Structure 1
Amino acid sequence: TAQGLAEAKENLLVDSLSEEERANYLRFMENRRYETSIIEGSRSEGRLEGREEGREEGRLEGREEGKQQEKFNIARTLKLKGIDIETIAKATGLAREQIEKL
């Protein structure tokens, strides 16, 4: 394969280096692998943090939507019982226009 040929070529080049050059090269490659590992670990950690933040935002949005829906349900019930719109608005925090549309 092409990758196998590239590796074989690299090995030949490394084998032709002096011992000092080879040691420097191997140290360089080890440092590169270490840096790559750190970067990949950081990316993975960042993705996990992002997912968790997204989940938390979703939970908060869901709670807020639920609270808002509950206000509408209460307003609808009060309106059906004949309570005046001004009182419903004060009790629920909804605007008169929102209550009138129910």
Structure 2
Amino acid sequence: MSKLSDQDIEKKLLQFPDWDYYDNAIHGEFEFENFKDCFSAMSRIAFECEALNHHPDWSNTYNILTISLSTHDANGVTNKDFKLAQAIEDIVEPDEE
């Protein structure tokens, strides 16, 4: 998978308003009601990561989940990162029906 240009990344980020691009990765931060909800989301995200064989740099402090996505093999951001970012978005902010 090839690394995206800065311009392509910025264009794709228009679809991800909760994400930023810096330090050669895309970054998202998500706040939950409590630690349990945060950890539950992390567990669901972990299954998506395994399915995509793509693993984030992430951490949580109580109810805040911080995620950085970069494709290490490409030394930068690729479409694979945006695919995982979309899966994460679907988990942490499901569409209201």
More strand by share: 2
The two structures share one fold, judged by TM-score above 0.5: no
Q: TM-score range by the shorter chain?
A: under 0.3
When Rg is computed on C-alpha atoms for both structures, the one with the higher figure is: 1
- Greater RCO (CA < 8 Å, at least 6 residues apart): 2
More helix by share: 1
